[in-house]
Structure formats: structure tokens, C-alpha cells
Structure 1
Amino acid sequence: MVDVDAVAAELYGLRPEEFTAARDARAATARKAGQRAEAKRIAALHKPTRAVWAANRLARADADRARHLLEIGQGLREAHRTLSGEDLRKLSHQQHVVIAAMAGEARRLAGEAGKGLSTGVQREVEQILRGVLADPDAAEAWARGVLEKAPPQAVGFAEVAPAPGTEPRPQQHEPEPRPEQEPKPDPEPKPDPEPKPDPEPEADTREAERTRREAALAEEALARAETERAQARTGLGALDEEIGRLEERLERARAERERLAAVAQDADRRHREAEREAKAARAAARKARPR
């Protein structure tokens, strides 16, 4: 009996270039065993991109850290559900710190496996981890190291509806007393004014809810801006490192050029000397010919 989950766990532990051949072989084995449904499920597994492979490898290498990241995601969803701005701010900062560290670790692990990650692919890993935080299904697959493809890019937790009854009631202000005035006699009786409709009792509450929700979304926007700023700084740091490596290579290339220039100069000198010697030898040979 073919265990599709076990096969998936095995396949997503392979390098991306090894995936397709191994998947097709496992599907063929299931078909030969008469397990057509299992074979179809195995054949439908997606080959992971380099970034997805690195993210899966990260989850497999450190289950505790993966679980910690998922706990942050659960806390963020809960904070959004209750529109807790303070919790959103703290958890968003914690999310950035953990994701940046984990993406760096993913790059190191990929390098150990002989598959270095470029700065662009490392940023893709960060996007995958943010998507995992907002998508419980993707989070479950990633935690087992069998994420098939990158989840949709996360733009916050706007799809999480606030829990009913979590909005604070607005402050009630007592109306200021109006001074009593003596009615002035009218020469003619006036008709009673039309009664004004009572304001909707929930209007103020809805306005407070809207304001609180906008504040929570603003906190998320701030957190995203902080993450983007940190990503830009990480990218700049990576570029500075790359520039440093290129400058070292350039320095070595210049030193090698100077060495080769000296070798070429010495070869030119020896060539000139050899030409003079050959010319002298030819002249001597002509003189030595019998007349």
C-alpha cells in the first residue's frame, strides 16, 4: 500500500532537480500496484521552486523555530480579530525579526546542500514565510516540510473578521444642561414642531468600530513598511558584501595582470635576444660556406 503522505515527505526533501524523476518513478510504482488514485495524487505533486525548497528545508531542519513562527502567525490573526493595535505592533516587529533570521538560516542551509541562494531568492523565502503566517493551510504543509508552492503574497490579515463584541463601547458624554427660559407670550398660537427622529442608538458604536478598525489596519501598514525597510537594508547589506567580493576579485585580477605583464615583458626581451642570436648565427653560417 503506497502512503502518499510519506511519498510527498520523501520527494519534498529532495533537491528541485531530483524531484520530477523521483515523483514519476513513485507514481509509476503506485500504478503498477493497481493504486490508480494514489498514483494520480503523486503525479499531481508540484515541483518546488528553489525558494519553496529552501523554505521546506528550513522547516525540516528546525521544527521548534518553525513552530515559533506559526505561533506568531496565530497571535497576529488573534490580534487582528480583536483589533488590538498594541499586540499587532509588537507581534509584527517580532515577525520581522524572526523571518529575517530564518531566511538567513535558509540561505545557509541551502549553501550546505550545494545550492546557494541569491539575494532575490532569499527575499522570496521571506515572502513565503509571511504568506505562511496568513494562510493556515500553507502553514500546516510548511511545518511538515511538504509545501508545494509559494502561498499568495500576504498583505496583512484583512480577511480575518473581527470577533463580535470585541469593540470597546464609545465614551458617553452627558449633554450639557440648557438654561431654563421663560416662554414669551405669542399673539397667536404656533403649531407644535415636528418631532425629530431619534438618532440611531448604534450609530456611534459603528463609528467607533470603523475608527478602531482603521487604526488596526494602520498598524499593519506600519508593520509592512518596517518590514520593507528592513528588507531594503538587508538587500543593501548583501549588495555591499557582493561588492566587497567583487573588489577582492578585481584586486586579485589586477595583481595577476601585473604578473603576466612582467612575464610578457621578460618574454619580449628573450625573444629579441633570440632574434639577435639567430641573425648572428645566420650571418656566421653564410660566411662559413665554401666558395
Structure 2
Amino acid sequence: MHVEQVVDELYALPPAEFTAARDARVAEARRAKDTAAARTIAGLRRPTLAAWVSNLFVRERPKEVEKLLALGETLREAHRTLDAARLREAGSRQHKVIDALAREAAGLARQAGHPVSEAVRHEVEQIFHAALGSPDIAAQWSAGRLEKAPQAAVGFDSITPDVLPERRTAPAGETPADLSEKPPSEKRPSAADRERRQRLRRARSEADETAAEARRRDEELRTAEEAHQAAVARASDADERVAQVEERLHRARQEQRDARAAAGEAETAVKAADRAARDARRAADRAARALSRLPDPSDGST
């Protein structure tokens, strides 16, 4: 059994089909006496819906995956060098790219017959953000075998263009010190703008809470599935031991039947030999009596 191929096949399945397919593959490996493959496949965990959408995107859009990986390298390099200009440029691209790719991933899921909610799409965005921040997470993500959303790299937050201030140059007659003392002019947001921002914050908060609840439920489901999987594995091991005992019992019973048949044949032979011996003894007795009735020529009688 080609384990890597089986793993790819399983993580290509929708989450609802994963567990049954995995257990069937484990049983297949056990029947083939491939213990190592059975153990590896049994250890696979059902992906969350967001992880499956991400895996689907990786398989269906390899060129877009390469672009996102390249953007991640650019962002990490800008972080290392503290290049503000590159950070602003990459940060602006980051949000546009991730939003577009997450929507495309959701579209792929819909085409596959599994439309997803905004909360799931938001979690897919978080997966993409995490892949940008860490080469290790990027490698896991690009393999298309995620089980759940990875944690974003510590110290690597998503960047927005307004996080880094634009460099200001001093006008003629103004010193850098004067420049630093002047706060940037800000336009006060209107009431409508404040209301829109508040609604957006509430919607994001609700989406985050919904996604977190979905992750908790998925984790509970995976825990239950793992317990079920362990019970199935124990039952399978017990079935195998029972089969071995039954095979030994079958052989012992066959040996018992053969021994009884041989004993029966031996008993028949003993009885036949006993009859033959009795017949021979009777014949010998008759011959002895017949001999005793014959006259002895040595005594001279006529």
C-alpha cells in the first residue's frame, strides 16, 4: 500500500467522508498485514471545514499558492530588515491577495458541492495569514494536508498600510525637529463613518466568535473520533487475536479428528488381530488334539 498516496486521497475528501474512508483504509492495511501503514493511516485526523477548503485550494490552484509563498518570503524579509517601504507595499498586497484568494477558495468549495459560511471563509484567511508568517507553516499548508488552522507565527502580525507611517519630508525652512513636533492633520470621521466602523467591528467580532465556536466543536468531534478510532483499533486487534485463536482451535480440532480416526482404525486392527489370534489358538488346539489321538509309532503297538 502506498501510504503517501492514501494520505493525499483522504485529505482530498470532504470532512464528512473522511472518517469512514480512513477506517476502511486502515482495515485494508490490516488485512494486508501492513501494520506500519495501518498505524500511520489510523493516526490521521479529520480536517476542519476551513482546513479542507485550504487543502482544496492548494490542490486546485498551485500557481496561486506559489504567489502567496513568494509574498510571504517578501514580508518576512521586510520584517528582518525593518524596511518600512517594503513592509507598507507588501502589507497592502497581503490583504488584497488574501481576501481574493480566500474568496476563490470558498468558490472552489461551492463548486465541489460544499458552500461555506463567512466564518469559515474568515478562518481560511487566517490560515493564509499564518502561512505568510512562517516558512514551517507555509510548508505544512502547501502540502495540502492541514487538519486545522495553524497558529500564526509569534511576532508576525498581519500588516496594514496604515500601521507604518509614511515618511514626511521637511518643507523649506522647516527643520526635522519642527516636523516631528507637528502632529499629522486628521479629518474627524463623520457619524456615519463611525457607525459603519462600529458595525464592521461587531461583525468581525461575531465572525471571530463563530469561527472559534466552530473550531471548538470540530475539536470535540475530533476528540470523539479519536476515542472511536482507538476503540475500533482495540476491537480490530481483539478480532485478530480471536481469529488466530480460532485458527489454532480449528487446527487442534482437525488434529483431534485425525487422531480419533487413527485410534478407531487402530482399534479395528487390534480387534482383527485379536480375532486372528483366537482363531490361530483354536486351530493350534485342534491340531494338538488331533495329534494326541494319533498312535505313537515308537511304542511298537499295532
TM-score normalised to structure 1 length: 0.52
Name the counterpart of 1:3. Answer: 2
- Change in Cα spacing, 1:73 to 1:63, as seen in structure 2 (3 Å) is same
Aligned-partner Cα distance in 2 for 1:98–1:156:
21
Aligned-partner Cα distance in 1 for 2:34–2:137:
27
Residues 60 and 145 in structure 1, CA contact (< 8 A), matched pair in contact too = yes
Name the counterpart of 1:98. Answer: 97
Q: Does 1:14 align with 2:13?
A: yes
Q: CA RMSD in A?
A: 2.4
Q: Which runs of 5+ in 1 are unaligned?
A: 159-228, 240-291
Name the counterpart of 2:57. Answer: 58
Residues 11 and 22 in structure 1, CA contact (< 8 A), matched pair in contact too = yes
Name the counterpart of 2:156. Answer: 157
**Structure 1 SS opposite 2:156:** coil
Q: Displacement of 1:136 after TM fit?
A: 2.2
Name the counterpart of 1:49. Answer: 48
Computing the radius of gyration over CA atoms, which structure comes out larger, 1 or 2?
2
For 1:1-291, list aligned pairs within 5 A.
2-154=1-153, 156-157=155-156, 232=200
The one-character-per-residue Cα deviations of 1:94-142 (angstroms, maximum 9, x if unpaired) are: 1111100011111111111221111111101101111112232332232
Q: Which runs of 5+ in 2 are unaligned?
A: 158-196, 208-302
**Structure 2 SS opposite 1:107:** helix
Aligned-partner Cα distance in 2 for 1:27–1:137:
29
* Displaced runs of 4 or more, over 6 A: none
- Change in Cα spacing, 1:129 to 1:10, as seen in structure 2 (3 Å) is same
Aligned-partner Cα distance in 1 for 2:134–2:22:
26
Q: Displacement of 1:148 after TM fit?
A: 2.1
**Structure 1 SS opposite 2:45:** coil
Identity of aligned residues (%): 49
Q: Displacement of 1:156 after TM fit?
A: 4.5
- Change in Cα spacing, 1:42 to 1:56, as seen in structure 2 (3 Å) is same
User: Which amino acid is 1:147 matched to?
Assistant: L
TM-score normalised to structure 2 length: 0.50
Name the counterpart of 1:210. Answer: none
Residues 50 and 148 in structure 2, CA contact (< 8 A), matched pair in contact too = no
More helix by share: 2
Report the count of equivalent residues. Answer: 164
